[in-house]
Amino acid sequence: MTETLHLANALLVLPEEVVAGGVTLVDGRIAAIDSGTGVPAGAVDCGGDYLAPGLIELHTDNLERHIQPRPKVDWPHAAAMLAHDAELAGTGITTVFDAMRVGSIPNGKGRYLKYARQLASELMELRAADALKISHFLHLRAEVCSETLMEELSEFGEADRVGLVSLMDHTPGQRQFRDISKLEQYMKGKHAMSDDDFLQHVAQLKSLRDRLGEAHEQAVVAEAARFGAVLASHDDTTAEQVATSAAYGIGLAEFPTTVEAARACREHGIKVIMGAPNLVRGGSHSGNVAASELAELGLLDIVSSDYVPAALLLSAVRLGTMWGDLARGLATVTRTPAAAVGLADRGVLETGKRADLIRFGLRGEVPVLHAVWVQGRRVA
C-alpha cells in the first residue's frame, strides 16, 4: 500500500536557500517539492515552521555514555542502545555513525577493555529486527597506542556497516593534550588516579606509541580500505600532521586543535569537523581552538554533537545566525557530512532522496523540534 504524507506551509531549508513551500513524501522518499504557503486538503499545516533534512551525526560518544553511565557501571546493552537511538531521534538526528573504540589497554589504573565487537553485533541484531528508529553505521575509533588494535580490527568486515575509521593518537604532550595538565585533570577526575597512577599511565602510552604507533597507523589505513570506509584523523595540531593525514588519504579531520591545522586541511581538501559543544560553550574544554573562530575564518565544514546530542541542531542554527545564512548553517549537519561519507541518498531536500526530515520552530535563537521523520515514518 502506498504511503503518502503532505507537509505544507513550511519554510524549506534547501541546499542554498530557505523558501516557503511544502513537501510530499511517498513510500519513504521525497516525491515532490512545492512553493507557496497554501495548505491543500489532507496536508499537514506546518504553520510556518522550518522543514530541513534529518541531521547526520558522524562523531558521537553518546552510545558509550549509555553503555557505561557511570565508571564501572555496565548497563544492559540492548536497553542502552534503544535509549541511545530514541534520544538521537528526539534531537533530530536521523543518521548516526556510532563511535566505538578499538584498541584496548588492559593494564594500569585507567585501563580500557575490549568491547566493540560484541556491542556492534548487538546493535546489528537490533537493526535486523527493525527495533531502531534511525539509521545506524559504525565509526571505529582506532587507538594506535594499543597492543590489541589490529586483533580487534580484524574482527570487523564489510557486513558491519563500518562507514568511518578514525586514527586516534592520545599520546600525552601532543594533539588534544599538548598541555599535559589538562590530561591530568581529566584522568584524575574520571578514573580517580593518584599522582603515581597518572605518571605510569603517561609512561605506558608513550612507550606504546614508540613501539607501535607508526606501524599501527599504516595498518589502520589498510583496514579502512578493506571496510570501504572513509578515513579520518583526530586532533591534528600542526601542518606537518595534516600533511601526513593527506598522504594516508584521510578525507576528514576531527577537531583540529589549531588554526594552523585547519588551514592546512583546507589546502589539502580535507573537511574539518568541529564539536557542537565547543561552539555552544564558546570554546574547547581542552583549551584548544574555538569552533567559532574557525567558523568566522571559513574553516569549518561539519559539526558533530560529540557528547551532547541536542547540541547538533542548536549549533547549526547558531552558525546560520553567525553567517547570516541558515541554509549554510544547516548544511554543516546535513548535506556536507552526508557527502563526506558517501551517503548520496540523504542530507538534502530533493526529489528522490530519503524522506528523512525534521520540523522545528525557533524560540529566539533556540530551535524547538516539533517532529522527526525517517523514511517517511514519524519517529519523534
Say which DSSP state 126 is in: H
Residue 90 CA to residue 281 CA, distance in Å, equals 22
Task: Please list, residue by residue across 311-346, b when 16 or more beta carbons sit within 10 angstroms of its beta carbon and e when fewer do.
Answer: bbbbbbbbbbeebeebbbbbbbbbbbbbbbbebeeb
Residue 56 has pLDDT above 90, yes or no: yes
Residue position matching grid coordinates 565508571: 71
| Furthest-apart CA atoms within the chain: distance in Å | 71
**Domains in the chain: how many in total?**
1
pLDDT tens-digit readout, 322-376: 999 999 999 999 999 999 999 999 999 999 999 999 999 999 999 999 999 999 9
Mean pLDDT, residues 116-140: 97
Assign 108 a pLDDT band (cuts: 50, 70, 90). Answer: low
33 domain residue, yes or no: no
CATH number for the domain spanning 58: value is: 3.20.20.140
Beta pairing class for 135-143 and 162-168: parallel
pLDDT in tens, 178-203: 656 666 566 555 666 676 766 776 66
pLDDT value of residue 322: 97
Task: Identify the pLDDT of residue 67.
Answer: 93
* Residue 362 CB partners (closer than 8 Å, separation 6+): 50, 317, 368
141 within a domain of the structure (yes/no): yes
Cα Rg, the chain, nearest whole Å: 21
Q: Report the pLDDT value the prediction gives residue 198, as an integer from 0 to 100.
A: 66
Query: In angstroms, rounded to a whole number, what is the distance separating the alpha carbons of residues 336 and 340?
Result: 6
pLDDT in tens, 298-310: 999 999 999 999 9
Asked whether residue 117 is assigned to any structural domain, the reply reads yes
Model confidence pLDDT, tens digit, residues 290-300: 999 999 999 99
Q: Which residues of 129-152 are buried (b: 16+ CB within 10 A; e: fewer)?
A: eeebbbbbbbbbbbbbbbebbbeb
| Contact status, residue 29 vs residue 276, Cβ threshold 8 Å | no
Residues 270, 231 contacting (CB under 8 angstroms): no
The per-residue pLDDT for range 75-96, each reduced to its tens digit, is 999 999 999 999 999 999 999 9
The enclosing H or E element of 38 equals none
Q: How far is residue 102's CA from residue 232's CA, in Å, rounded to a whole number?
A: 14
Q: Is residue 48 part of a domain?
A: no
Encode pLDDT of 203-261 as tens digits. Answer: 666 666 667 767 788 899 999 999 999 999 999 999 999 999 999 999 999 999 999 99
Q: Classify strands 230-234 and 252-254 as parallel, antiparallel or unpaired.
A: parallel
Residue 356 lies in a domain: no
DSSP E strands: which ranges in the chain?
Answer: 4-13, 18-26, 29-35, 44-45, 50-53, 55-60, 93-102, 135-143, 162-168, 230-234, 252-254, 271-275, 302-304, 357-363, 366-374, 377-378
Residue in this structure with the C-alpha cell 574557525, named with its chain if needed: 294
Q: Is the pLDDT score of 265 beyond 80?
A: yes
CA distance 159 to 202: 36
In which domain, by residue range, is 230 found?
A: 54-345
- Per-residue confidence (pLDDT) for residue 321, from 0 to 100: 97
Q: For residues 374 and 355, what is the distance between their CA atoms, to the nearest angstrom?
A: 6
pLDDT value at position 130? 97
Q: Which residues make Cβ contacts (< 8 Å) with residue 264, sequence separation at least 6? A: 236, 238, 239, 242, 243
Inside any domain, residue 37: no
Spell out a b/e string for 50-78, using b for 16 or more CB atoms within 10 Å of the CB, else e: bbbbbbbbbbbbbbbbbbeeeeeeeeebe
Nearest of 311, 261, 279, 232 to residue 57 by alpha carbon: 311
* Helix, coil or strand: residue 367: strand
Q: Classify residue 283: in a domain, yes or no.
A: yes
